[in-house]
DNA sequence: TGTTAGTTTTTGAGTAGTCAAATTAGATCC
DNA sequence: GGATCTAATTTGACTACTCAAAAACTAACA
């Protein structure tokens, strides 16, 4: 059975991998995401490679194996179901669910997770709109595009936010930017570095940084 | 902040202490309850003493300090609230709540526990009838006596079972011996080593070993 | 081509916990 | 008072992580 440290590394490698959209995850990135020194990450990655969870390309980076991806999806399932539970049942604010879920996900049994899944009514997404993998390890996410790639004038629906930072989430909530809300994209300028949207119902408008808008995924209906 | 290993030692020392009803907990007992070798327990106890959680009497045993007792009650609160949650909300059988709670209790935050407490409606006891300490650390248990000290013929109400062994609990459940149920004590013999009770409602009778009956706490109304 | 900047790896050391096995201290019993 | 039994302690070693700092590699640019 993997230790919780191993579980954490694998989960991070998975998210960095899909985040980067390119092959391998370099050590610097991994060590920063894990909050450890690069040397520590190298040591750990060698070990992960020994137990076949990743393939390690020295001086380039790591890539999950099928076995590693399996574990990553199991962890993501745990994490997101726990986040949903914390928000829907215990009344956490969506900005604070991440930290507690991060600790709980390594302590729960499969039985716990399956019972929790049933209790919650088999939700498909967590409070941030992240899709929840099934118990068999399949995951399907809606077709979305980053907000900063949409053309102004279009109507968009917020589907997912790729960020766990509480401050950012609180801020987005103030702007009504959370999954399910509809907006009109008013302006999007890489040069000015801003994206402005107007909330469909309330007519309130919000401006966010261009980079951050890339982490807001929307659907164009 | 104490590590989860430290938390576990402190909780075990607390329960052994009240279990034994006498002063100090000897190393053998502690090491067995923790599932480690005696040498390991000695090493750990010295450390616990360094951080003022216990007072260590070499070659005799350990005793919790006020600070240690505080931590023990916090852990007991966590453990028992989680047990209640697993049974009442997620539908665990009472025989299986212990193991999962044991792992979760070290991973939850104070915020989590307080919100869980509210969600459960501030329960006073867990599924085994063990009293749940308040968030301020006070604990009050009902007046009870071990079943094997009652006089035959008397009516008794099961209040609490001092055992976490799943096999034992499943067995007790089959006999209807769980908190809230009423019985007539038919026979109790230290010599024969058995205690026989009759369930008040169903008239079914059950016989358990004299030693085990000492771990069944009842109220004599 | 040679220098430099940035990344990655190696090395040596530390922390928290564990075990096995040798040793020591207490108690008990003739 | 010794012999003996048991519980407790010490010792040395191992695992799983971690860091700091030195060394090595890569890429890129003058």
**Per-residue model confidence as pLDDT tens digits over A127-149:** 999 999 999 999 988 899 999 99
**What is the residue-wise DSSP string for A46-67?**
HHHHHTTSEEEETTTEEEE-HH
Length reported for chain B: 221
CA dist., res. B97 & res. B146, Å (int): 23
Which of B79, B93, B98, B103 should we substitute to test contact with A (largest number of A Cβ atoms within 10 Å)? B103
How would DSSP label each residue in B13-30? HHHHHHHH-SSPBPHHHH
Residues written for chain A: 221
Q: If you average pLDDT over residues A138-162, what whole number do you get?
A: 95
Mean pLDDT of chain A: 96
Chain B environment of A117 (Cβ under 8 Å): none
Q: Is A112 on the interface with B (CB under 8 A)?
A: yes
Distance of alpha carbon A74 from alpha carbon B219, whole angstroms: 46
* Segment A177-217, tens digit of pLDDT: 999 999 999 999 999 999 999 999 999 999 999 999 999 99
Query: Residue B4's closest chain A neighbor by CA?
Result: A107
Name the closest residue on chain A to residue B114, using Cα atoms: A90
Q: Choose from A97, A99, A103, A119 for mutation: most chain B CBs within 10 A.
A: A103
Instruction: At B38, give phi and psi (nearest 5°).
Output: -55, -40
Are B10 and B71 in contact, with CB atoms under 8 Å apart? yes
Average of per-residue pLDDT across A168-185: 97
Residues A98-110 have a mean pLDDT of 97
What's the distance, Cα to Cα, between the start and end of chain B in Å? 44
| Alpha helix segments (H runs only) across A105-217 | 110-119, 166-174, 210-213
Largest CA distance in chain A: 56
Residue pair B77/B113 in contact (Cβ under 8 Å)? The answer is yes
- Which pLDDT does position B141 carry in this prediction? 86
What is the share, in percent, of chain A residues with pLDDT greater than 70?
99
Chain B: residue whose CA lies nearest to A90:
B115
Residue spans of beta strands (DSSP E) within chain B:
54-57, 61-64, 145-146, 155-161, 182-189, 194-199, 205-209, 216-219
Contact A45, A56 (CB under 8 A): yes
Structure-block tokens of residue B53: 């959680």
Q: How many CB pairs under 8 A join A and B?
A: 48
| pLDDT at position A23 | 79
For the record, the structure tokens of B39 come out as 């040498």
pLDDT of A18: 86
SS3 A99: helix
CA closest to C25 C1', residue: B59
* Domains and their CATH numbers in chain A: 4-64 (1.10.10.10), 74-141 (1.10.10.10), 145-219 (2.30.30.90)
Determine contact: B108 vs chain A, CB below 8 A: yes
- Residue B110 contacts A, CB cutoff 8 Å: no
**pLDDT computed for residue B152 by the predictor:** 95
Which is it for strands A155-161 and A205-209: parallel, antiparallel or unpaired? unpaired
Cβ atoms within 10 A of the Cβ of B5, count? 13
Please check whether strand D approaches the CB of B152 to within 7 Å: no
Both tokens of B56, joined, read 């260590």
pLDDT in the model for residue B29: 97
Q: Is the CB of B4 under 7 A from strand D?
A: no
pLDDT digits (tens, 9 = 90+) for A12-49: 999 999 877 677 999 999 999 999 999 999 999 999 99
A86 touches strand C (CB under 7 A): no
d(CA A1, CA A10): 13
| Half-sphere exposure of residue A12: CA atoms within 13 angstroms, side-chain side | 24
End-to-end Cα separation, chain A, in angstroms = 44
Q: Which two tokens stand for residue A88?
A: 């829907």
Write out pLDDT tens, residues B83-113: 999 999 999 999 999 999 999 999 999 999 9
For residue B100, give the nearest of A96, A100, A109 by CB distance.
A109
Q: Please list every residue in chain A whose beta carbon sits closer than 8 Å to the beta carbon of residue B116.
A: 90
Q: Which residues of chain B have pLDDT under 70?
A: 21
pLDDT at B20: 74
Question: C-alpha distances in angstroms, B20 versus B77, B132, B147?
Answer: 21, 20, 17
pLDDT of residue B111: 98
Residues of chain A contacting B108 with CB distance shorter than 8 Å:
100, 103-104
């Amino acid at each position: 059975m993997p230790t919780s440290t191993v579980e954490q590394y694998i989960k991070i490698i998975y998210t960095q991998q899909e985040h980067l959209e390119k092959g391998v995850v370099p050590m610097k990135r991994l060590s920063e995401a894990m909050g450890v020194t690069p040397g520590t990450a190298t040591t750990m990655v060698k070990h992960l490679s020994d137990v076949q969870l990743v393939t390690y390309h020295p001086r380039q980076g790591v890539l999950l194996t099928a076995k590693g991806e399996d574990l990553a999806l199991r962890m993501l399932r745990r994490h997101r179901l726990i986040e949903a539970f914390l928000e829907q049942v215990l009344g956490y604010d969506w900005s604070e669910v991440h930290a507690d879920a991060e600790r709980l996900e390594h302590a729960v049994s499969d039985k716990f997770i399956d019972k929790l899944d049933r209790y919650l009514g088999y939700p498909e997404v967590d409070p941030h709109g992240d899709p929840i993998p099934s118990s068999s390890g399949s995951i399907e996410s809606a077709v979305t595009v980053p907000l900063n790639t949409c053309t102004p004038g279009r109507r968009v629906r917020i589907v997912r936010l790729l960020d766990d930072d509480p401050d950012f989430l609180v801020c987005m909530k103030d702007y009504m930017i959370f999954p399910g809300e509809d907006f009109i994209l008013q302006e999007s300028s890489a040069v000015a570095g801003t994206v402005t949207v107007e909330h469909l119902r309330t007519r309130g408008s919000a401006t966010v940084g261009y980079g951050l808008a890339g982490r807001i995924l929307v659907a164009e209906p």
